[in-house]
Amino acid sequence: MSHHYIRFSDVHYSYPHGPEVLCGVDLLITHGEHVALLGLNGSGKSTLLLQINGLLLPSRGEVTVGDIPVTKKTLRLVRQSVGLVFQNSDDMLFMPTIGEDVAFGPRNMGLPDAEVERRVGAALESVGLAGFEDRPAFSLSGGQRRAAAIASVLSMEPDILVLDEPSANLDARARRQLIDILAGFSHTVLLATHDTGMALELCPRALVMDAGRIVADAPTAFLAASTDSVAAGIFDTARTAPIPVPAAN
């Protein structure tokens, strides 16, 4: 697989017994792009991301990763190139220690012990958790658990990194560290976020979702300056005046 692009062709999806929440999504992301997926709560961002590694499969249409159509039969192959960090990333830590969580993927790929160990060390180091190998997940802070979840995906050395709200609940320092990790990732990054500052800094391109459709695909800076009502709701352009501070008495 030399071209790790992501392609959606007329993808529709409904949760069981529910209305359609992806209503004909078409998109193409080429290898090495950093793309933000923006949109209001409930617009379908997480649902879209879960299609990329086949956790959800389209009701109609097709998702392809590289040259591989995402189907039940190709899940194993697809997941070797796509690393997905969930919106609720705590769900990804289920082993007794962080080290074992981060080793889980590489071990599952059948890599030799020395290589697994090398990858665990490198992944933990890159998210600022060097030395945390033996700590159980519950003993980490929320931000540290997010970092550990990201490490558990980086240790697979994915060609495509998909992250759902990665900066939620992070303090400024942890958020900065996350941005630096992602900026240094030379392969494809697709991230769903409400953190428009992060999107502007990391992603030259943004997709905007509204009610299950991609309604804009444009340079992020262009959207930030747009007066379009959907973009304005995302970038909160109404609040451009400084927040007033009561005078001291």
Ligand X SMILES: Nc1ncnc2c1ncn2[C@@H]1O[C@H](COP(=O)(O)OP(=O)(O)OP(=O)(O)O)[C@@H](O)[C@H]1O
| Among 40-48, 74-82, 175-183, 222-230, the segment contacting ligand X (CB under 6 A) | 40-48
Contacts of 212 (CB under 8 A, 6+ apart): 20, 21, 22, 23, 25, 43, 44, 47
Could you give phi then psi for residue 82, rounded to 5 degrees?
Answer: -110, 120
Question: Which residues inside 77-116 make contact with ligand X, applying CB under 6 A?
Answer: 87
Among 4, 8, 43, 102, interactor with ligand X by CB under 6 A: 43
Strand partners, 214: 209
Residue pair 212/51 in contact (Cβ under 8 Å)? The answer is no
| 46 contacts ligand X (rule: CB under 6 A) | yes
Instruction: For the beta carbon of residue 173, count every other beta carbon within 10 angstroms.
Output: 10
| 2 contacts ligand X (rule: CB under 6 A) | no
Provide the minimum distance between the beta carbon of 6 and ligand X in the complex, in angstroms, as a whole number.
Answer: 17
Our CB check for Mg ion shows the closer of 45 and 79 to be 45
Residue 145 burial by CB count (10 A; 0-12/13-18/19+): exposed, middle or buried?
A: buried
Helix 142-154 vs helix 172-183: crossing angle, to nearest 10: 10
Q: Round to whole Å and give the CA distance between 171 and 151.
A: 18
Provide the minimum distance between the beta carbon of 15 and ligand X in the complex, in angstroms, as a whole number.
Answer: 3
Provide the minimum distance between the beta carbon of 164 and Mg ion in the complex, in angstroms, as a whole number.
Answer: 6
Provide the minimum distance between the beta carbon of 38 and Mg ion in the complex, in angstroms, as a whole number.
Answer: 11
Our CB check for ligand X shows the closer of 61 and 128 to be 61
For Mg ion, the binding residues (CB under 5 A) are: 45-46, 87
Residue 247 burial by CB count (10 A; 0-12/13-18/19+): exposed, middle or buried?
A: exposed
Our CB check for ligand X shows the closer of 18 and 246 to be 18
Our CB check for ligand X shows the closer of 23 and 122 to be 23
* Residue 126 CB-half CA count within 13 A: 22
Our CB check for ligand X shows the closer of 39 and 158 to be 39
Among 2, 41, 227, 240, interactor with ligand X by CB under 6 A: 41
Binding residues for ligand X, rule CB under 6 A, total: 12
Our CB check for Mg ion shows the closer of 80 and 87 to be 87
| 18 contacts ligand X (rule: CB under 6 A) | yes
Site for ligand X, rule CB under 6 A = 15, 18, 21, 39, 41-47, 87
